[in-house]
């Protein structure tokens, strides 16, 4: 039911083109996953989301457990049916959110108890419960419950989080029993490369159908992200998909793909869209800026998304200036399309062996310009 094939490899990088088969269809890698925290990619219908060429999307177990609760979603026929998305879905485990959003009461090897940021109620999450919730939600890919240390954190703290993450992974594996769902493990270790190595070795030893690099993009500078990715990705099993969590910027995606990472998720394209910012090439444009007031070109003249095909910059400026809902939707649609387009350009460049870490296909001087 799950199958990952590497279809093509780059010779001068570790970049690869792959295909992950899931019960709800294909994930072509390299790929970017839009984030639908509460079972909705904010402001975007399922039909529009398909038009961005999105394949797999991510939803958050932590948020969905708090509202509407996994019982409602299970009764509704599972998350695919609930949110009307018939393509692959991945749920994270809630680990990251427990530590970033919850008011922690207690954490020990058994699990975590915290106050709901929603209504202050007492909530307990354990590896067993996180997996049970994810089985109820019914995504195609589910993530192990991990402890994600903040940045910065001392080596002792990170080491403890790693040990707990590995202990919990064993219990996640023991609990998970849904055949049409793949459980991925998560490598932690913060910015400490020896801890990352040990974590990669331990997580790989479970021989799961996929593996993720977690605990990045938690506040560390981007050269740290690059250092971690360059060090960890080559240590991961070759035959399964590799997922770098929480990354969604052009440069970090290219570096990660060049080091053998297969897919990504990030709230950035939709969050930026809701704040009036558009992704164009590797730039961020604030559409509130007066320079767009009478600019009648498409947002990105090279993009074929719904936004760029139908509307001009002056109109988007007008919508954003007037806090019109449509502006947020149109910019989010473009930003998602942009990162997915970049993913597909990387795939073509890998197939044609003109991919590199500094991949920037919009540049006319790039040998990979034709992929854009």
Q: Out of 219, 296, 301, 365, point to the residue binding a second copy (CB under 8 A).
A: 296
Residue 78 vs 237, nearer CB to a second copy: 78
Name the residue with tokens 């109620």.
Answer: 121
Buried/exposed code over 95-110 (b: 16+ C-beta within 10 A; e: otherwise): bbbbbebbeeeebeee
Give CA–CA dist 326/319, Å, rounded. Answer: 7
Q: Is 78 annotated as ligand-binding?
A: no
- 119 as an active site residue: the answer is no
Q: Show the binding pattern over residues 68-87: x = contacts a second copy (CB under 8 A), - = does not.
A: x---x--xxx----xxx---
Spatial distance between the Cα atoms of 174 and 238, rounded to a whole number of angstroms: 24
- Other Cβ atoms less than 10 A from the Cβ of 219: the count is 9
Residue 294 interacting with a second copy (CB under 8 A): yes
Shortest distance in whole angstroms from residue 307 CB to a second copy: 9
Q: Is 305 annotated as a binding residue?
A: yes
Determine if 26 is a binding residue for a second copy (CB under 8 A): no
136 is catalytic: no
304 counts as binding a second copy under rule CB under 8 A: no
Does 133 interact with a second copy (rule: CB under 8 A)? Answer: no
**Does residue 121 interact with a second copy by CB under 8 A?**
no
Of 18, 30, 39, 94, the one binding a second copy (CB under 8 A) is 39
Tokens of 50: 């398909």
Member of 35, 44, 142, 187 binding a second copy (CB under 8 A)? 44
Whether 24 and 88 have beta carbons less than 8 Å apart is answered as yes
* Catalytic residue of the set 140, 262, 265, 300: 265
129/317 with CB nearer a second copy: 317
Q: Give 256 or 303: the residue with its C-beta nearer to a second copy.
A: 303
Count other C-beta atoms under 10 Å from residue 304's C-beta: 10
Scanning 45-53, 162-170, 213-221, 353-361 for contacts with a second copy by CB under 8 A, the matching segment is 45-53
42 binding a second copy? (CB under 8 A): yes
Residue 207, token pair as written in the block: 């021989």
165-169 LR contacts (CB < 8 Å, sep 24+): 165/199, 166/199, 166/202, 166/203, 167/109, 168/127, 168/144, 169/127, 169/144, 169/202, 169/203, 169/206
CA-based end-to-end distance of the chain: 33
Q: How far is the CB of 235 from a second copy (least distance, A)?
A: 39
Q: Which residue has the tokens 């502006």?
A: 327
CB 38 within 8 A of CB 64: yes
Catalytic machinery residues: 92, 265
Which residues would be at the binding site for a second copy (CB under 8 A)?
A: 38-48, 67-68, 72, 75-77, 82-84, 293-294, 296, 306, 310-312, 314-315, 317-319, 321-322, 324-326, 328-330
Residues annotated in a binding site: 92-96, 146, 188, 215, 303, 305, 308, 334
Residues annotated in a binding site for Zn(2+): 303, 305, 308, 334
């Amino acid at each position: 039911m799950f199958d990952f094939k590497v279809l093509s490899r780059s010779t001068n990088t570790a970049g690869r083109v792959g295909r992950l088969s899931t019960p709800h269809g294909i994930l072509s890698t390299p790929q970017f996953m839009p984030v639908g925290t509460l079972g909705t990619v904010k402001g975007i219908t399922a039909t529009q989301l398909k038009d961005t060429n999105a394949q797999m999307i991510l939803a958050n177990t932590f948020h969905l457990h708090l509202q509407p609760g996994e019982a409602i979603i299970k009764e509704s026929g599972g998350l695919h049916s609930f949110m009307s998305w018939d393509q692959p879905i991945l749920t994270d485990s809630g680990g990251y959110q427990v530590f970033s959003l919850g008011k922690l009461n207690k954490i020990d090897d058994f699990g975590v108890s915290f106050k709901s940021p929603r209504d202050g109620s007492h909530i307990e999450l354990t590896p067993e419960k996180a997996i049970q919730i994810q089985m109820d939600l019914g995504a195609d890919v589910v993530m192990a419950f991990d402890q994600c240390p903040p940045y910065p954190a001392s080596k002792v703290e990170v080491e403890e989080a790693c040990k707990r993450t590995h202990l919990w992974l064993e219990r996640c594996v023991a609990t998970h029993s849904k055949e049409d769902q793949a459980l991925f493990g998560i490598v932690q270790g913060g910015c400490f490369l020896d801890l990352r190595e040990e974590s990669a070795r331990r997580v790989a030893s479970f021989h799961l159908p996929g593996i993720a690099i977690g605990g990045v993009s938690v506040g560390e500078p981007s050269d740290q992200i690059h250092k971690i990715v360059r060090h960890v990705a080559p240590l991961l099993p070759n035959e399964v998909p590799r997922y770098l969590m929480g990354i969604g910027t052009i440069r970090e995606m290219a570096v990660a793909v060049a080091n053998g990472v297969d897919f990504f998720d990030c709230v950035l394209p939709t969050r930026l869209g809701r704040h009036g910012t558009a992704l164009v090439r590797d730039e961020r444009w604030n559409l509130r800026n007066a320079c767009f007031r009478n600019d009648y070109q498409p947002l990105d003249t090279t993009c074929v998304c719904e936004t760029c095909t139908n509307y001009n910059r002056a109109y988007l400026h007008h919508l954003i200036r007037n806090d019109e809902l449509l502006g947020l939707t149109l910019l989010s649609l473009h930003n998602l399309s942009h990162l997915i387009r970049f993913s597909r350009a990387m795939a073509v460049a890998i197939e044609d062996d003109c991919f590199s870490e500094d991949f920037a296909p919009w540049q006319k001087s790039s040998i990979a310009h034709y992929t854009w």
